[in-house]
Amino acid sequence: MDYDAIVIGCGPAGSVAAMYLAKALGKEKVLVVDKAAFPRDKICGDAQGRKAAAIMKELGIYEEYTKLPGQKIYGITLSSPNGTQIHLDVASRSEPAPGYVHRRMVLDNFLAENAKKAAAFRIFNVTDLIIENNIVKGVIGNENGQREEIRAKIVLAADGANSLVAQKLGLNKNPPEHFIVATRQYYKGVKGMTDRIELHLIKSLIPGYFWIFPLPNGEANVGLGMIVKDMHDRKVNLKEATLREIKENPLFKERFKDATPLEDVKGWNLPVASYRRKSFGNGLLILGDAASLIDPLSGEGLGNAMISARIAAQIATEALQRGDFSEGFLKKYDTLLWEAIGPEIKANYRLQVIGKKFPFMIDRLMVKASKDESFRKKVEKLLPYTGGRKEIGSEEFLTNLAEKKEVEKMLAEAP
């Protein structure tokens, strides 16, 4: 049977795209495939912010989402290279939580279950695309080792950071300064956990960071992420660095003393959006990590993956209505996507570069926020996972922390 749309990958990008597409086109017209059976794990920090919540609301699954086993998040704890630690609350406990930490085993299964209700689903490993006259016409792959071709008018590739589709089309080549690698290790019994996520900006990793995110039942998601170029330049072994921070860093060593790791340290890739990749072709749209849409400052990819899914479904539906699957028309997806996420990516990339070149600014920011309540309130609204952070790398904001001459130098060196 031929479909109107095939979605490759039933992770957050693919399942959200399948739900939007099926709403517009009907269940039998949309097929979503994944090589994995759900529930399946995905190495991640597991934190979701306001962008994910907004999509859940639009899809009508927000109430169920808030009831999934997970931890409500109301704020962020930050520490700077000189060890200054601040606690920022981005919402009051009487308001709906602005963020959640759900294990991806839980979140992705919830999304996949909803995608399966909305659209056709198959466990199917895509190994190639059907391309005729330079137009993508479907997928080739296998189910239980049985080779099969499945045709569709349009294909949406949501096959993650190591996307086969992006590789096939030569679109997967982020330079090492636009590529992050991060680790994850679940723990039980870390002391001093709260309902805030913790981001620790450690000198040897900057602008990368070490995180501790709370989970229910006394568990925590612990990890460390770093730009690949910095990792190579500074000869950092990420797994060793993760374990060293846990054992030796004065901020954490007592907290981890009686904690138990629930798994070995695991690592995975984060292609980041400071490198803008082409995300469309004839008969094809590329979504989420497969299109390198992760925030270069925070490593947050779930929100942008879901936003790309919503816009891709909208443009795929328009393409089907017009019968036009050409690159020329599908470019509209790329335009709308970057209108939606571009300004924030630009601001956060700028901040990432400023943090790396002028790490004293991070110390100054934390010290000022720890002493000056009105400044702290201002910062609370601008942080990763809370939305509205475009302002934080602006000249006006930097002037809070540095002399005019220093600001000029920073702005000259920032992208």
- Residues of this chain that interact with ligand FAD (CB under 6 A) are 8-14, 33-36, 42-48, 125-126, 158-161, 164, 182, 184, 223, 268, 270, 288-290, 294, 299-303, 305
Q: For residue 385, what are its two tokens?
A: 């996972």
Smallest distance from ligand FAD to CB 36, Å: 4
CB 86 → ligand FAD: shortest distance, Å? 20
- Based on CB atoms, which residue is closest to ligand FAD, 34 or 219? 34
User: In the bound complex, what is the minimum distance in angstroms from residue 288's beta carbon to ligand FAD?
Assistant: 2
370-379: long-range contacts, CB 8 A cutoff, minimum separation 24? 370/84, 370/85, 370/86, 375/400, 376/86, 376/88, 379/88
Amino acid 168 reads K
> In angstroms, rounded to a whole number, what is the distance separating the alpha carbons of residues 409 and 287?
37
**Closest residue to ligand FAD, based on beta-carbon distance:** 301
158-185 burial, b at 16+ Cβ within 10 Å, e below that, comes to bbbbebbbbebbebbebeebbbbbbbbb
C-alpha–C-alpha distance, residues 222 and 73, integer Å:
16
CB nearer to ligand FAD: give 45 or 296: 45
Residue of 294, 411, 300, 299 whose CA lies nearest to 361: 411
CB of 410 to ligand FAD, least distance (A): 27
Question: Could you write out the DSSP letters of every residue in 360-374?
Answer: HHHHHHHHHHHH-HH
Cβ 268 to ligand FAD shortest distance, Å: 4
Instruction: Closer to ligand FAD by CB, 59 or 294: give it.
Output: 294
Smallest distance, Å, CB 108 to ligand FAD? 7
Closer CB to ligand FAD, 156 or 410, in the complex: 156
Paired residues of 222 in beta bridges: 185, 212
Q: How far is the CB of 297 from ligand FAD (least distance, A)?
A: 12
CB atoms within 10 A of CB 76: 22
What is the closest distance, in whole angstroms, from the C-beta atom of residue 374 to ligand FAD in the complex? 29
Closer residue to ligand FAD in complex, CB, 273/366? 273
The answer to whether 220 and 77 have CB atoms below 8 angstroms apart is no
Residues 6+ apart with CB under 8 A from 235: none
What does the alpha-carbon distance between residue 118 and residue 20 come to, in Å, rounded to a whole number?
Answer: 9
Q: Where are the beta strands (DSSP E) in 235-339?
A: 260-261, 266-271, 280-281, 284-286
Q: Between 159 and 380, whose beta carbon lies closer to ligand FAD?
A: 159
- Shorter beta-carbon distance to ligand FAD: residue 35 or 310: 35
Measured from the CB atom, the residue of 264 and 403 that comes closer to ligand FAD is: 264
Least gap, CB of 263 to ligand FAD (angstroms): 13
Structure tokens at 290: 């497969």
For ligand FAD, the closer of residues 36 and 91 by Cβ is: 36
Spatial CB neighbours of 335, under 8 Å, sequence gap ≥ 6:
none
Residue pair 129/167 in contact (Cβ under 8 Å)? The answer is no
